[in-house]
């Protein structure tokens, strides 16, 4: 099934994305947020909801959120307040979540997405600060649900989009963009599979040309970017079929089942919570002055769109290469790190895009774990550029560099791969090749010029890769003509 089949209908989609912030301590308590600790070891009386405990706002929560707000062209509220969102759940000992309600810290922003044949700007209604709940574990004990409160109070931002998204593909692109932005800002690791990015999708359909929105459903439990796309696609189809067969969409929350690839009902609006929001009395209003704004602004890195443009316009890379290299900040930093030692954007891009990315993929590692430093890689590329080694030697040396820390030059010498441009070395080899292949020589002279490749190959082989192919080509051409 595809949305294109539905010329009659159009989907309207709004996303609510939660991003877990990389602050060292929790939102309102001085205790570590580090992932993977033994259950319930990172808790304070506040996380446990003990009476008499008081929250203290982590300043980095505010700063990180402002970073996101500035990076997405939001307005930043001079004064915003926290609110209590009341509900009962075992992983929420306080009985309420501290969030923001009427006055979010960031509002009226936008995120730009690029689709294959058009670009589009998705409006952001708001970005607000809140705390995470603990974790209920249902599958470790045969009869009981266990609760781990290490996550209780870990800071989150919620990014709420305007209902500007029209297709599952746009939703996907929007999420990937958010991931890229939070990673560039270094405020969230952006990993959806591990839950540091979470997305709820609101979906409705309407007849094309109709202004009024249809009734929406809210989809939850999609733990990968692709699942968000699939779930939305499924839900659009379901709603259209329902309407076409005379039914009506009911406002409800649906859970995506990643195994069955379908949504199922979780709760309807009638059972929906009334959170009884009210201003959090224990935390003073958050005041953001010009000074703090300037400080945060000065901490902002070059953002991906700007970097992409610069790679295309100043480094003269083609768009596809520039996109790949700027996709994540660390890779772009690495690439530019190599350029610091060797000012040849194209040559460096070529090696990074092929060999380096191949290794990252094969080993499933991050560029930060890549064993060859920027200076070392620059040295290798420079050897090739200066015609000291040829491409096959570059590849061999690269493979060795992955395993040991030797410099490219040392390896080239050790492996006997330095190219010899000395004609005294090459000429006799060329003469041999010509002498031993009279048929090919004749055909070449009769006009089959492609045979030049054959001769060069022979010479390269006999020189054990040490001849300079360009020079070999020149000499052979001269001798055969
Ligand atoms: P709630 O308070 O129930 O979460 P909001 O008004 O805050 O509702 O909206 C949540 C999300 O739903 C926003 O991203 C918004 O753009 C989106 N949304 C609102 N109405 C619709 C609709 N009719 N169809 C699709 N998405 C919608
Ligand atoms: Mg909501």
| Predicted local confidence at residue 297, as pLDDT | 97
> What atom in ligand 1 is closest to the CA of residue 161?
14
Percent over 70 (pLDDT), the chain? 98
Model pLDDT for residues 405-422, shown as the tens digit of each residue: 789 999 998 888 887 777
Q: Poorest-confidence range of 121-135, 173-187, 380-394?
A: 380-394
Answer positive or negative: Cα dihedral of 381, 386, 388, 390.
positive
| Predicted local confidence at residue 36, as pLDDT | 86
Minimal-distance CA residue to ligand 1 atom 7: 160
466 close to 419: Cβ distance less than 8 angstroms: yes
37 alpha-carbon distance from chain centroid: 26
Phi-psi region of 155 (alpha: psi -120 to 50; beta: other; left: phi over 0): beta
Question: 16: CA distance to ligand 2 center in Å?
Answer: 7
- Distance, in Å, from the CA atom of 341 to the CA atom of 170, rounded to the nearest integer, reads 39
Q: How many Cβ atoms sit within 10 Å of the Cβ of residue 434?
A: 18
Q: Poorest-confidence range of 29-33, 59-63, 457-461?
A: 457-461
| Predicted local confidence at residue 268, as pLDDT | 67
Q: Which ligand number lies closest to the CA of residue 15?
A: 1
| Predicted local confidence at residue 480, as pLDDT | 85
Question: 290: CA distance to ligand 2 center in Å?
Answer: 31
pLDDT band at 466 (very low <50, low <70, confident <90, very high): confident
pLDDT higher than 50, residue 171: yes
Strand bridging mode 217-222 / 252-257: parallel
pLDDT band at 269 (very low <50, low <70, confident <90, very high): low
* 395 sits in which H/E element: helix 391-403
Q: What angle, 0 to 180 degrees and rounded to 10, lies between the N-to-C axes of helices 329-341 and 374-385?
A: 50
As a whole number, mean pLDDT of residues 235-263 equals 93
- Distance, in Å, from the CA atom of 282 to the CA atom of 92, rounded to the nearest integer, reads 18
* 181 sits in which H/E element: helix 168-185
Question: 163: CA distance to ligand 1 center in Å?
Answer: 7
> What atom in ligand 1 is closest to the CA of residue 163?
16
Question: 212: CA distance to ligand 1 center in Å?
Answer: 13
DSSP string, 84-130: EEE---TT-TTSEEEE--SS-SEEEEEEEEE-SS-EEEEEEEEEEEE
> What atom in ligand 1 is closest to the CA of residue 202?
26
Map out the domains of the chain with their CATH numbers.
Answer: 3-292 (no CATH), 302-414 (no CATH), 423-480 (1.10.10.410)
As a whole number, mean pLDDT of residues 447-472 equals 87
Question: 353: CA distance to ligand 2 center in Å?
Answer: 41
DSSP letter (8 states) at residue 356: I
Question: 286: CA distance to ligand 2 center in Å?
Answer: 22
In degrees and rounded to multiples of 5, residue 50 shows phi and psi of -65, 140
pLDDT band at 272 (very low <50, low <70, confident <90, very high): low
pLDDT higher than 50, residue 161: yes
> What atom in ligand 1 is closest to the CA of residue 215?
23
| Predicted local confidence at residue 387, as pLDDT | 85
Q: Alpha carbon of 306 to those of 112, 137, 183, 303: distances in Å?
A: 12, 43, 15, 6
Tell me the average pLDDT of the chain.
Answer: 93
480 close to 441: Cβ distance less than 8 angstroms: yes
Minimal-distance CA residue to ligand 1 atom 4: 16
| Predicted local confidence at residue 5, as pLDDT | 56
Q: Poorest-confidence range of 12-21, 110-119, 383-392?
A: 383-392
As a whole number, mean pLDDT of residues 11-40 equals 96
Strand bridging mode 106-114 / 83-86: unpaired
Task: Among 163, 213, 272, name the best residue to mutate to test ligand 1's pocket (greatest count of ligand atoms within 8 A of Cβ).
Answer: 163
144 close to 212: Cβ distance less than 8 angstroms: no
Model pLDDT for residues 273-284, shown as the tens digit of each residue: 789 999 999 999
Question: 125: CA distance to ligand 1 center in Å?
Answer: 10
| Predicted local confidence at residue 270, as pLDDT | 60
Q: Which residues line ligand 1 (CB under 6 A)?
A: 12-16, 160-163, 202-204, 213, 216
Minimal-distance CA residue to ligand 1 atom 17: 14
Q: Alpha carbon of 420 to those of 122, 135, 168, 467: distances in Å?
A: 58, 65, 57, 5
pLDDT higher than 60, residue 249: yes
As a whole number, mean pLDDT of residues 352-357 equals 96
pLDDT higher than 90, residue 264: no
DSSP string, 37-82: PPTT-S--TTTTT-TT------HHHHHHHHHHHHHTT-EE-SEE--
pLDDT higher than 60, residue 322: yes
pLDDT top residue among 9 and 480 = 9
> What atom in ligand 1 is closest to the CA of residue 160?
14
> Which residues neighbour 117 within 8 Å (Cβ) at sequence distance 6 or greater?
none
> Which residues neighbour 58 within 8 Å (Cβ) at sequence distance 6 or greater?
23, 25, 26, 27, 28, 155
| Predicted local confidence at residue 3, as pLDDT | 45
As a whole number, mean pLDDT of residues 54-75 equals 98
Question: 158: CA distance to ligand 2 center in Å?
Answer: 9
| Predicted local confidence at residue 212, as pLDDT | 96
pLDDT higher than 90, residue 263: no
> What atom in ligand 1 is closest to the CA of residue 218?
12
289: which 2 tokens?
Answer: 């002055």
pLDDT higher than 90, residue 221: no
| Predicted local confidence at residue 405, as pLDDT | 77
Question: 251: CA distance to ligand 1 center in Å?
Answer: 11
Q: How many Cβ atoms sit within 10 Å of the Cβ of residue 293?
A: 15
| Predicted local confidence at residue 56, as pLDDT | 97
As a whole number, mean pLDDT of residues 110-130 equals 97
- Which residue in 126, 73, 66 sits closest to 102, CA to CA? 126
| Predicted local confidence at residue 337, as pLDDT | 98
Model pLDDT for residues 195-215, shown as the tens digit of each residue: 999 999 999 999 999 999 999
pLDDT top residue among 348 and 447 = 348
| Predicted local confidence at residue 352, as pLDDT | 97
Minimal-distance CA residue to ligand 1 atom 24: 204
> What atom in ligand 1 is closest to the CA of residue 15?
14
pLDDT band at 1 (very low <50, low <70, confident <90, very high): very low
Model pLDDT for residues 282-321, shown as the tens digit of each residue: 999 999 999 999 999 999 999 999 999 999 999 999 999 9
> What atom in ligand 1 is closest to the CA of residue 164?
16
Task: Among 11, 14, 110, 212, name the best residue to mutate to test ligand 1's pocket (greatest count of ligand atoms within 8 A of Cβ).
Answer: 14
Question: 14: CA distance to ligand 1 center in Å?
Answer: 6
| Predicted local confidence at residue 464, as pLDDT | 81
The SS3 assignment for 201 reads strand
Question: 254: CA distance to ligand 1 center in Å?
Answer: 14
């Amino acid at each position: 099934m595809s949305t294109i089949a539905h010329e009659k209908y159009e989907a309207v989609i709004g996303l609510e994305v939660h991003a877990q912030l990389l602050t060292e301590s929790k939102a309102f308590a001085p205790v570590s947020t580090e992932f993977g600790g033994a259950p319930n070891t990172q808790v304070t009386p506040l996380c446990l909801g003990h009476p008499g405990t008081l929250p203290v706002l982590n300043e980095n929560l505010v700063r990180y959120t402002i970073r996101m707000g500035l990076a997405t062209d939001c307005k930043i509220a001079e004064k915003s307040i926290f609110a209590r969102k009341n509900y009962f759940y075992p992983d929420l000992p306080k009985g309420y979540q501290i969030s923001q309600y009427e006055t979010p810290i960031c509002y009226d922003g936008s995120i730009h997405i690029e689709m294959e044949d058009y670009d589009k700007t998705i409006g952001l209604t708001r970005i607000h600060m809140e705390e995470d709940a603990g974790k209920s574990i249902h599958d470790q004990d045969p009869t009981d649900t266990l609760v781990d409160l290490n996550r209780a109070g870990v800071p989150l931002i919620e990014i709420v989009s305007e209902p500007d998204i029209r297709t599952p593909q746009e939703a996907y692109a929007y999420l990937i963009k958010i991931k890229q932005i939070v990673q560039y800002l270094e405020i969230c690791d952006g990993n959806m599979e591990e839950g540091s990015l979470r997305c709820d999708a609101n979906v409705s359909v309407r007849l094309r040309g109709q202004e009024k929105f249809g009734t929406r459903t809210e989809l939850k439990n999609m733990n990968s970017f692709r699942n968000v796309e699939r779930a939305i696609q499924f839900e659009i189809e379901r709603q259209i079929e329902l309407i076409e067969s005379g039914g009506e969409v009911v406002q409800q929350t649906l859970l995506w089942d990643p195994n069955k690839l379908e949504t199922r009902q979780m709760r309807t609006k009638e059972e929906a919570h009334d959170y009884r929001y009210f201003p959090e009395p224990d935390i003073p209003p958050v005041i953001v002055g010009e000074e703090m704004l300037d400080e945060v602004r000065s901490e902002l890195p070059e953002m991906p769109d700007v970097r992409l443009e610069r790679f295309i316009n100043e480094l003269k890379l083609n768009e596809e290469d520039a996109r790949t290299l700027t996709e994540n900040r660390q890779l772009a930093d690495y690439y530019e790190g190599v350029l610091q030692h060797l000012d040849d954007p194209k040559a460096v891009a070529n090696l990074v895009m092929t060999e380096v990315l191949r290794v990252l993929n094969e080993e499933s590692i991050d560029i930060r774990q890549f064993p060859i430093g920027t200076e070392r890689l620059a040295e290798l590329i420079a050897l090739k550029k200066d015609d000291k080694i040829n491409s096959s030697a570059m590849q061999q040396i690269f493979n060795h560099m992955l395993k040991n820390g030797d410099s490219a030059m040392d390896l080239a010498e050790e492996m006997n791969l330095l190219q010899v441009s000395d004609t005294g070395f090459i000429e006799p080899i060329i003469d041999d090749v010509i002498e031993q292949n009279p048929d090919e020589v004749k055909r070449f002279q009769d006009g089959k010029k492609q045979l030049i490749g054959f001769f060069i190959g022979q010479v390269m082989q006999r020189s054990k890769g040490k001849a300079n192919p360009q020079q070999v080509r020149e000499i052979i051409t001269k001798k055969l003509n």
